[in-house]
Structure 1
């Protein structure tokens, strides 16, 4: 491809909705131009970092490569929409956007909720919920759209239970999440009227009301914790609180949904691996990790150089943006043996899907617990799984995966 087309392809959300096109492009980049100065026509320029080892090294150096101020790829037009709302290029201020010391202080507010001691108390409830969702598959007869009917709703129910959002509001949470991550997708933004701030404004309005309720009547949920949260004896700001809600309500389920659907598709496309999993369910944990590597629902995050420096022979200037391409890193031939083979027993599997370093995903253990619970139910209770149509991917260059996965099956 001509140089200009390569740069536009790196930024184009449609590239990420076509896995074969994405992997062809980034395989070439890893080989020929692993740290590429990229100037898409619609976006501010940045360095594209495509190799596993380089992403790791940058993640380790959080002082030299900061999260703020640019954390994800938006067009100039989208950045201007956000700037009009907030005065900066960021629509929210979450753990993803924070550097030290704020990152550590705000992470500590909720960290206990996502640690093994707390998660063990959720295992029985997750097992019941997983069983209920396989019951939904049974109730639909012999076919469903796994992405739309099951994978989108199961992790949403989990995180909304933890957060304290009532079931009747889950449809709103799902719609706003899809609008935020999939605003470039014509199926999500059907009228073309949703801009880069529409979903954020909807979330903030909802969580303002939830905060008022939890201050009057706190419960044993994350919403109550955040409604009354303090750091150094002072209440956190309304903007930081709403941003925290926003992070948990979106990233807390959307990435897990994408991993679930992508894992099932991979098993359907590799029937030998599905048969092996049925014969040896002890492989479920490693199959889950392989599925997450395979899908890598968070396609990128940005970092910003805080000083002039040289990295892998390239001269970064203070303020340069770096796009860390996790999906590319998770297919790196120098980091994985036969990376384009789906292997449910892959060991080691040092994938980057949860990030690395101080910003390692807070909810990674919960996400894997959820996927393991549902996969266990599917393997035990659902037989003759087959594709029943063409899978479709969400048009997004940031966070996403399958938006449609039609399947047919027979219950055991």
Structure 2
């Protein structure tokens, strides 16, 4: 006959349960309210939810049950859900912010290890959001911790294209972003009813972007991608002000008219003093079914012209990172919320995008090169 499990054994099992939104053990977050063990091996676990309407409460209950059931001597598990008090939520918020109660933009700190890429274009319709979503999915699949800010306030489309159907959870004035395909994502579309348009002017746009960067709990990201609106308007300027270290990726098509406008969008860095990491040419060519010679539906050389033109304007070398072919499956994947790089990794467009992702961020960040603050102990 098995012995009755101990409280320590149950707590040890609970350390393996992570909050699905914060991605940290519930034991570290103060979410374990109580553990009661009966003589017959029935374990009752009290769990604090961050908010009453927590969309992940079913997942938490399931994960707690599975973890505790594995403990030797447990015959049954009962999970009792409660809700954190205002004071407990404030303590959690402060803990998540690293002991800082006030809001700040973590990516703007000098010691931030997160690479921020602002994906820009001169005009709409060049596939900027498709490139952003597939880059994010490719980086996450490579093992990176990735977040996406849908900063195209008027034309937000990233949640649908990434397949993010869940809504953010609010803990006090902190927002926990939903995750899709391993990518954390936030968008103004998650805060509007239906398909309502956003009718805001400059100051409100700036404030919205600021909230996405400071109020959202992103955790320890390797990469943050920002899908900017086309052109050089308020959001592009606000991005430069709030995240001066953000690097620009300029997306264009081969068409001469699109290339000229894209070059103007990239040239904003001459005034904002940001860095352009490179140019991506989308819809470069189309290969007919069954093979055959590639067809250049939108002309040729636009990406190279943008890279060369920006290099001349800024006095530096701007690389053409890749030429993504036209593939109807890229569009279909966006409509279905299934990025092409995940569903069709052997497609030529997928291979180009994965190659670009690898060029931008390489291997996932480890501890190499990081200062751990360790000093020899005195003898």
Instruction: Decide: shared fold, TM above 0.5.
Output: no
Determine which structure has the larger helix proportion and give its number.
Answer: 1
Q: TM-score, normalised by structure 1?
A: 0.21
- Please state which structure has a larger fraction of its residues in strand: 2
Max radius of gyration: which structure? 2
